[in-house]
Structure 1
Amino acid sequence: MIEAHSLTKRYGERTAVADLSFTVRPGIVTGFLGPNGAGKSTTMRMLLGLDAPTSGRAVVNGRSYAEHRAPLHEVGAMLEARAIHTGRSAYNHLLALAATTGIPARRVNEVIDLVGLREVAKKRVGGFSLGMGQRLGIASALLGDPATVILDEPVNGLDPEGILWIRNLLKGLAAEGRTVLVSSHLMSEMALTAEHLIVIGRGRLIADTSVAEFTAQAAGDVVRVRTEDAEKLRELLAGPDVTIGSQEPGVLEVTGLSSDRIGRIAADHAIALAELTPQQASLEEAFMELTRDAVEFQAPASELVAAGSEGRAA
């Protein structure tokens, strides 16, 4: 288990993390999200004892990282995959880590096979692709068979097969009862991998909730209704706490009523429905909505619109 208690980190007059508290529990994959400059990297460095907090405390499995007698057996981390001597082979890099931390050499071969680097294990790391470097970083994190795993952007540089592999690996680690904290900018991948989210912005906590609750909060309980009697149904659904929009003929977008309630009203008045669908925001949409005011650098609205138009055209 990872626990952050009122973590604060200041660099001169700039506050990178402000009174941040959260708990990462074992048995599930927890996504750690935030815009650029939100304080994610600083927070992870404090969890690992690489940065000292200005105030507050971070503990992993009940102790600070430095208090563990065998840290690599407790916490496996990857913050910078390419922080490896480029003249060493992958095998020798892992062997050196193992030798200095009391890990048997056979474990080196196990993690090399686990991350799919057997064919290049004896090659120098300097010639590795970005994806191969990521795999080696993950192998280093898992070398001590740790109870807690902390990974920063683990899918960077991986091809689709590699992304599927890391997704299944993380879920497998969580299923074994380990604590798994993963930072990523790929919202689509986090939606498929994480069950819980910790979202920060400008160093402060924005959300600490499940993925389902996070996206539902952003969706605003919108229900899409399609019927040939749209205008009649609109009149029946109207109320002081109900908002009804329409983007196309015969379709209503209703906020303030559940799909069950809308269905009952339609049935009571013999209105046939061709569609009754609760709308759910994607994780990316929810993230953009809830972190809008926490973005450090934001493109002008005209540029965002243009980018969206180009994407649709493509």
Structure 2
Amino acid sequence: MTIRAHGLTKRYGDKTVVQDLTFTVNPGTVTGFLGPNGAGKSTTMRMLLGLDTPTAGHATVGGRAYAAHAAPLHEVGALLEARSIHPGRTAFHHLMALAHTHGVPRSRVDHVLALTGLTDVAGKRVKGFSLGMGQRLGIAAALIADPATVILDEPVNGLDPEGVLWVRNLLKSLAAEGRTVLVSSHLMSEMALTADHLVIIGRGRLLADTTVADLVRESGAACVKVVTPEAVRLRELLSGAPGVEVTGEAPDTLHIRGTDAPHIGRTAATHGIPLFELTPQTASLEQAFMDLTHESVEYQATAMTGAAA
């Protein structure tokens, strides 16, 4: 089931939180929904699920609004706020209450408890859950009716490394089954390992709708590391070309952006410059994301220049 957002706009008084946002999330892929704090991600997810009414535009899941589905939990499973559970309920009773609303059998409750690693604490009251256990219960609730579409807001928040790996494998397996998966996260390293596609927003506007590989490749953050005893001479030969940027971290080491390793190697060979190292270095998703969103960060921090008096 495809998720479509068309012209989504949300204003609170004179503050525009989401502005003319249009994107598509397709089945069979894990789509990462990224943006700095305050970018409008949670508001957008709430509009996708009909919890917030758009000021303009509309959103559909499987061709219709979420509220128009006769049995929405069978169509869309969502985790927006893991702690939005009555603290006096046990994990089992919370899931059973959800199951009763959609005719889901107890066997499915037992299945998602086992899937999320909560079987041993199924009878424990939620108020005693750790943050990570709460996240697992929220994911179990999202999957209770075996939905075709899954929308998760920061699902790895509070999880230990084993839990993060579990979520990664779970999302990939859901997508491999042909489901539509939309997930937000601030962990760029995890998104690089999990997501197939990215939708990135900043200050409520679409900044990129692309793959991880394309974003990293087009970011300009990738470079070639060169080690040579004639670094000064090689710098002079390469710096004159349009778009080429040469920096150095040591007298014999250069980092070169804007050209590739074969061109650098040919230039060095033509001028008899020996190379001890010529290594292409791929940019990280984190660096590409930071470069793309640096003007959209809500709160800009400054570097420390000295100790406080």
Shorter-chain TM-score bucket reads: over 0.9
Indicate the residue corresponding to 2:104 in structure 1.
103
- Partner of 2:249, secondary structure, is coil
Which letter does structure 1 place at the counterpart of 2:303? Answer: S
Q: Distance in 1 between matches of 2:99 and 2:33?
A: 29
Q: TM-score, normalised by structure 2?
A: 0.93
Q: Distance in 2 between matches of 1:256 and 1:135?
A: 44
Indicate the residue corresponding to 2:48 in structure 1.
47
Q: Distance in 2 between matches of 1:85 and 1:61?
A: 31
Is 1:56 aligned to 2:34, yes or no?
A: no
Q: Distance in 1 between matches of 2:257 and 2:271?
A: 20
Indicate the residue corresponding to 1:245 in structure 2.
247
Indicate the residue corresponding to 1:295 in structure 2.
297
Which letter does structure 2 place at the counterpart of 1:16? Answer: V
Percent identity of the aligned residues? 67
Aligned residues: 305
Question: Deviation at 1:62?
Answer: 1.3
Q: Distance in 1 between matches of 2:38 and 2:258?
A: 35
Question: Deviation at 1:77?
Answer: 0.3
Instruction: Choose 254-263 or 39-48, whichever is displaced more.
Output: 254-263
- Partner of 1:219, secondary structure, is coil
Is 1:266 aligned to 2:243, yes or no?
A: no
Q: Distance in 2 between matches of 1:72 and 1:14?
A: 32
Indicate the residue corresponding to 1:132 in structure 2.
133
Question: Deviation at 1:284?
Answer: 2.1
Question: Deviation at 1:78?
Answer: 0.2
Q: Could you give the per-residue CA deviations for residues 121-162 of structure 1, whole angstroms, max 9, x where no partner exists?
A: 011111111111100000000111111110011011111111
- Partner of 2:250, secondary structure, is coil
Indicate the residue corresponding to 1:184 in structure 2.
185
Q: Distance in 2 between matches of 1:24 and 1:274?
A: 46
Instruction: Choose 86-95 or 250-259, whichever is displaced more.
Output: 250-259
Is 1:5 aligned to 2:6, yes or no?
A: yes
Q: Distance in 1 between matches of 2:174 and 2:274?
A: 48
Segments of 5+ residues of structure 2 without an aligned counterpart are none
Indicate the residue corresponding to 1:17 in structure 2.
18
Q: Distance in 2 between matches of 1:210 and 1:75?
A: 24
Q: Could you give the per-residue CA deviations for residues 63-84 of structure 1, whole angstroms, max 9, x where no partner exists?
A: 1101111111111100001111
Indicate the residue corresponding to 2:196 in structure 1.
195
- Partner of 1:5, secondary structure, is strand
Contact 1:81 1:136 survives alignment (8 Å)? yes
Question: Deviation at 1:92?
Answer: 0.9
Question: Deviation at 1:11?
Answer: 0.9
Question: Deviation at 1:243?
Answer: 2.8
Question: Deviation at 1:266?
Answer: 2.8
Indicate the residue corresponding to 1:71 in structure 2.
72
Question: Deviation at 1:221?
Answer: 4.4
Instruction: Choose 186-195 or 261-270, whichever is displaced more.
Output: 261-270
Which letter does structure 1 place at the counterpart of 2:68? Answer: E
* Aligned pairs (5 A) from 1:106-121: 106-121=107-122
Instruction: Choose 286-295 or 17-26, whichever is displaced more.
Output: 286-295
Q: Distance in 2 between matches of 1:124 and 1:240?
A: 66
Q: Distance in 2 between matches of 1:188 and 1:54?
A: 34
Aligned-pair RMSD on alpha carbons?
1.8
Indicate the residue corresponding to 1:165 in structure 2.
166
Which letter does structure 2 place at the counterpart of 1:294? Answer: S
Distance 1:228 1:164, change over 3 A: same
Which letter does structure 1 place at the counterpart of 2:280? Answer: P
Distance 1:220 1:189, change over 3 A: closer
Segments of 5+ residues of structure 1 without an aligned counterpart are 308-314
Q: Distance in 1 between matches of 2:7 and 2:306?
A: 41
Indicate the residue corresponding to 2:219 in structure 1.
218
Contact 1:26 1:179 survives alignment (8 Å)? yes
Q: Distance in 1 between matches of 2:221 and 2:88?
A: 54
